């Protein structure tokens, strides 16, 4: 089937779709789709492709639009996300495990993906944040060109700085496509990074968090 015949794809170039007012579409402040589009066209020529052939004609525009989502975290931080808190008077550890992570390695602009586990001890006020905000926090720092180590520390530091968490442990495990699709070609290899702050530096508390993260039903 020709691309132009496929349902949904024909509309990709319509005025309506170009307006980028899709619900939830919140591109970074410096987002310039025209520049991305021009660059992708050049890129296609550079790899020896014909950007005017049928299947590629709308690709630069599609990539430009996709970049508004894929890099939506650029220029943002977790401050506003972590402003919404609830009074639970809970002063024990909270763990959100297996949060999916999708990011781009800043060296090759290839994806790395996997999971994040976040443990935190609420601030002395006992106020906790909504569970979804932790997952959104990971997204804010993942949706940009990144390295896994920085992603890990940025999530941990945001929880201390913006929520006032008394302790934080962030563990991220990802597979990097730049190590599997090309280069050293080691499919299945996973990189594990961690960042620990405050009371979770205590060996016993940290061990408790790690065992809860590792436990499986
Ligand atoms: N520390 C760290 N390194 C990363 C991450 N993502 C990719 N890399 C590495 O970044 C390095 C870039 O190395 P270079 O020698 O400049 O680039 P390269 O010639 O493409 O390297 P190869 O991948 O070994 O072919 C590679 O070793 C990647 O594995 C990350 O999140 N953290
Ligand atoms: Zn890479």
Atom 20 of ligand 1, residue of closest alpha carbon: 183
Coarse DSSP helix, strand, coil percentages of the chain, rounded to the nearest 5 percent? 40, 25, 35
Distance, CA of 129 to CA of 144 (rounded, Å): 24
pTM of the entire structure? 0.90
pLDDT tens per residue, range 177-214: 999 999 999 999 999 999 999 999 999 999 999 999 99
Please state the domain extents for the chain.
Answer: 3-70, 83-214
Distance, CA of 98 to CA of 217 (rounded, Å): 13
pLDDT tens per residue, range 124-177: 988 889 999 999 999 999 999 999 999 999 999 999 999 999 999 999 999 999
178 labelled binding-site residue: yes
Mean pLDDT of the chain: 91
Domain 83-214 classified CATH 3.30.1130.10?
A: yes
Question: What CATH architecture applies to the domain 3-70?
Answer: Orthogonal Bundle (1.10)
Q: What is the ipTM of this complex?
A: 0.93
Distance, CA of 146 to CA of 194 (rounded, Å): 15
- For the cut 60, the answer to whether the pLDDT of residue 83 exceeds it is yes
Atom 25 of ligand 1, residue of closest alpha carbon: 183
- Catalytic choice (17, 108, 175, 208): 108
């Amino acid at each position: 089937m020709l691309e132009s015949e496929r349902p949904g794809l024909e509309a990709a170039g319509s005025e309506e779709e170009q307006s980028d007012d899709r619900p939830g579409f919140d591109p970074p402040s410096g987002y310039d789709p025209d520049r991305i589009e021009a660059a992708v066209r050049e890129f296609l020529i550079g790899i020896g492709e014909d950007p005017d052939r049928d299947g590629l004609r709308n690709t630069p525009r599609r990539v430009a639009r996709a970049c508004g989502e894929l890099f939506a975290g650029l220029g943002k931080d977790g401050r506003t996300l972590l402003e919404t808190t609830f009074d639970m008077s809970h002063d024990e550890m909270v763990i959100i495990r297996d949060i999916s992570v999708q990011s781009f390695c800043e060296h090759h602009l290839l994806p790395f993906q996997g999971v994040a586990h976040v443990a935190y001890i609420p601030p002395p006020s006992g106020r906790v944040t909504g569970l979804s905000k932790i997952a959104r926090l990971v997204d804010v720092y993942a949706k940009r060109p990144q390295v896994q180590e920085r992603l890990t520390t940025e999530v941990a530091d945001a929880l201390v700085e913006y929520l006032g968490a008394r302790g934080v442990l962030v563990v991220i495990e990802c597979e990097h496509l730049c190590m599997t699709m090309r280069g050293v070609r080691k499919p299945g290899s996973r990189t594990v990074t961690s960042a620990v702050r405050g009371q979770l530096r205590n060996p016993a508390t940290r061990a408790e968090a790690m065992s809860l993260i590792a436990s499986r039903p």
